[in-house]
Structure 1
Amino acid sequence: MTHTTIAPAAPTQDIGVRYLLHDGELVEYGEAKLHVLSTTLKYGVGVFEGFRAYWSEEDDELYAFRIQDHMRRLVDSMRVVEIDGPTDVDLLSAQLLGLVRANELRGNLHMRTQVFVDSSDGKPDDTGPATVYMAAIPMGNYFGATGLDVQISSWARLSDRSMPPRVKSIANYQNGRLALLESRRNGYDAALLLTEDGHVSEGAGYNVFMVRDGRLCTPPVTESILEGITRDSVMHLATAELGLELDVRPIDRTELYSAEEVFVCGSAAEVNHVKSVDRTPIGDTQPGEITRQLQDLYQKAVRGKVSADQGWAQPVYSV
């Protein structure tokens, strides 16, 4: 008889986090597991949300940004892809903030809530049982630098006729991943995808804006984009704080080449300017005036420091 020797598990990487949350209960970081035959792992059935929290030295406080809006989108995502998961937005929000407190985190964070279909030896039409994991991890700049060289991908953005791009379904992100890998192989920092009709859609996890002829423009939600919460924040700041007129309209690829400014935005990506598209420089490759103003406003908004604040920045510890 042949005996198999099982090596001890490798130690968990030390990232300064002790606990994750599983269905509302704290679990040790290394104990957060999902079975390999679950529906999620077999068929990619799952949804998630990515959040940010920001430390303010001035206030000695951590601010979680638009938590309830993210949780509402999570519930909507479950509805669209037919997962029978929790729907209490207030409870989900409180659980995530409780996780941050349990880990005693004081610094900029990226947080994540993931809903999986954890049926035993799952079938593709299983809608439950659902299990929810939450994480809060220290995180700085997502791209590692400011200013991006972007490639228009040869991969088209998935269509609403095939997958629901407006929600955060885990399976959707294979589309952006392929585009990102292609761009990195070709020496770029990031990727943008076009729709099947050839209009600019979004990037590999971030929405896109441009300034052309002095006007701020962004694709509409009907161009196969995620209904981004950071996108919505930027639109509000641009109109309420800067008094800008905003054009929400289809954008052609070559318009980006002619734009005075281009930037991308997302919860992880924040607001980051684009230096070039397909090696065509954008302006002088530095952040333009509108981009700089929106970057500054966004960093203030996530800490509750703008006059047009919508109650977006939620204190974590002074509750």
Structure 2
Amino acid sequence: MIERLLFFLFVSLGIASSGLSQTINITNITRTGRFSTCTNGIPPTVTATLVNSTGTSVAGNTLVCNDPCGTTTLRIVLSDVRWDQNPGANWVHGLFFPQNPGFSVSGIGLPAGWTAFSSCTGASCSAGQTGGQGFYFDGTGSNSCCSGATAGDGIANNNYGDQLIDCGFAFSFQFDMTFCNSVITSTSLDFQLQGTADGNTGCWTTADASSNTITFSLSTTACPDIYNIPFVSTLVTDCSVTPPNYYALITGGCGNGNTVTWWDAPFGGNQIGTGVPFVYDPPGNACPAGTTLYASCCPVGATNCANRQAVAITGTCPPGPTATHTKTDPLCYG
């Protein structure tokens, strides 16, 4: 019996230690605007735990990036948050992050009436501010100028904000946050949550001019540089055709051993080639000088998070064939 209890205790402690090892240190928690003007002065708290990843791990409460091509999902608990409704009787209506490629959030434990939305733009009687991906209050049908609104109708901008949340009533949010590993470039990773009043993203006539933010930093170790084999472009003139054709020959490679893919945009866009050396030959006999291509050392499927490197084609294309006054072949310079 004692052996079983000891075994159970050992396993329980192991699980607990494993869970703790996924916790990431949070520093530099700051707040501005209505998040900071309540007289009780109690600061918010933020915790972060790794719940899923490709290419990151936690060591010593630091988020370590091993592969910039992957993604990381953290569970964030934001608690002890207070909002000053005065002046203007502006109730809190939105809490969101700036828009970033590959970034998303999903609610796990939200206050009553709050729902995740990809964005929200205030109604016509408000300031009409557009907020990014985050959480907005959809828990009432009351408003200043929006008709037909009902609580929980899936339309965030036809509501007042949350009347309950003020200096005397703290609120908490628990949500999962997913982002591209490629943003981990130093020993800390900063995030900023912006809060909006119902006079900005909701349906209330008094706009709020304050900048209401909560900022925090994660302890991180930067991703390795996978673009450590420089890409070099060389202009080439092909005189075997008339008029001559111009193209760029690009050399270089990936420090992580992956095959280079070539794109026409820093995110998304179209794949235009694979491998090195790569020949970029624009249509017709156009000169490729001045064109910027984008090299990726990440898998093709990682188009939202591919940390592509811009490769500028420099130089000047020589003039085309010039006929002399004598009966000689045209001269092709370059």
Specify the TM-score bucket, using the shorter chain as the normaliser.
under 0.3
Q: TM-score, normalised by structure 1?
A: 0.24
Q: TM-score, normalised by structure 2?
A: 0.23
The structure in which a higher percent of residues are strand is 2
The structure in which a higher percent of residues are helix is 1
- Which protein has the larger Cα radius of gyration, Structure 1 or Structure 2? 2
